[in-house]
Amino acid sequence: MRVEERGDAVWHITWSFPLDEKRARREGYERRVINGTIGVDSEVVCCARCEAKSIVKCGSCGKVTCWAGGPTSKCLWCGVEAMVEGEIRSMEVGGDV
């Protein structure tokens, strides 16, 4: 996902694109960290692969994963399925999550 900080103190997801883990590490994305509120613009698809419109942070492995809505989410990283407990207002996100 590409995010940009705007004047409203929110990091906005502006678009997404498929990127394999090897290339992400080569580009150094795992060293970039965003700490704050992450907003999703209504017209933006968060995941270029599955076209999910939202994201959640996995309570098991701590990584960000796609969420298509509904009461549960299955983490694409670790496979754990769990209840979505509510909206997250702030989280620290790095390129490797």
pLDDT score recorded for residue 94 = 61
Left if phi > 0, otherwise alpha if psi is -120 to 50, otherwise beta: which for 56? beta
pLDDT tens for each residue of 51-94: 888 888 888 988 888 888 889 999 988 999 999 886 555 555 66
Q: How does pLDDT run across 9-38, given as a tens digit for each residue?
A: 788 888 777 777 788 788 777 677 777 777
Paired residues of 57 in beta bridges: 64
Rounded to 5°, the CA angle 62-18-61 comes to 10
pTM equals: 0.64
Interatomic CA distance for residues 58 and 97, integer angstroms:
10
d(C-alpha 93, C-alpha 91), whole Å: 6
Local structure of residue 30 (DSSP, 8 states)? G
